[in-house]
Chains A and B, each alone.
Chain A
Amino acid sequence: QKEVEQDPGPLSVPEGAIVSLNCTYSNSAFQYFMWYRQYSRKGPELLMYTYSSGNKEDGRFTAQVDKSSKYISLFIRDSQPSDSATYLCALQRSNDYKLSFGAGTTVTVRA
């Protein structure tokens, strides 16, 4: 079993829809939770960072963490064609140099 599970999709939504992405994990030692966005033929870029259970909002993006269920989510409101990308969740243990990544979910927002 992988440490981090993420549905690879692909996910296709119309412009303006809410995109919902999620990851589950098995190790309760993970304390820091990130979402990266990766455009085609580019490197991943950090989108959201959080370290506690609850919600964190940044513009149209909301990251949600439920440590008791070992479940993290990313919501994109009012999705735009420019949001079309692969979204990867990444988890980190305290005092660890390494991240554990999900496989990534490919999202297409149709104009």
Chain B
Amino acid sequence: NAGVTQTPKFQVLKTGQSMTLQCAQDMNHNSMYWYRQDPGMGLRLIYYSASEGTTDKGEVPNGYNVSRLNKREFSLRLESAAPSQTSVYFCASRGRTPYSGNTIYFGEGSWLTVV
């Protein structure tokens, strides 16, 4: 069971370039998320999708767009990358287990550097 899979793992972009981070989950979860993690800032929510067909802004949406392609896939796009977007990006999905309520499960992360 792969859980949450995101690609690419590492990427270097030049300022102004665009790219898309891909994410897929195989846990049949309705909700999916994109977070960024920066030193001393913790995890900050960029966008989330409560269910297929819906997307909403989180804390730090500026400079990003998202697409909920289907129930499994949720992509994050940087239209014109800026050095401030250098970060580690985590995709996540939300679901229930026998041991916990609805909680969030993370992918392995994508390290993005904008030069």
Contact = CB atoms under 8 A, between A and B. Distances in A.
A49 B101 CA distance: 8
9 contacts: A36-B106, A43-B108, A45-B106, A46-B100, A49-B100, A97-B48, A97-B50, A102-B42, A104-B42
A88 interface: yes
B8 to A, nearest CB: 14
B42 A46 contact: no
A80 B42 CA distance: 24
Interface residues of B, number: 25
Given A46-B100, A99-B103, 12 more contacts: A4-B42, A32-B103, A43-B4, A43-B107, A49-B100, A49-B101, A97-B50, A97-B94, A98-B48, A99-B104, A103-B42, A104-B42
Interface in B71-115: 90, 92, 94, 99-101, 103-109
Given A97-B48, A97-B94, A32 B101 contact: yes
Interface of B: 4, 31, 33, 40-45, 48, 50, 58, 90, 92, 94, 99-101, 103-109
Contacts of A4: 42
Contacts of B90: 43-44
Contacts of A43: 4, 90, 92, 106-109
Interface residues of A, number: 24
Given A97-B31, A97-B48, A98-B48, A44 B103 contact: no
Contact of B43 (A41, A51, A97, A101): A101
Contacts of B31: 97
Contacts of B109: 41-43
Given A42-B108, A46-B105, A103 B40 contact: yes
A65 interface: no
Nearest to A43: B106
A32 B103 CA distance: 9
B104 A8 contact: no
A64 B105 CA distance: 22
Nearest to A98: B45
A34 interface: yes
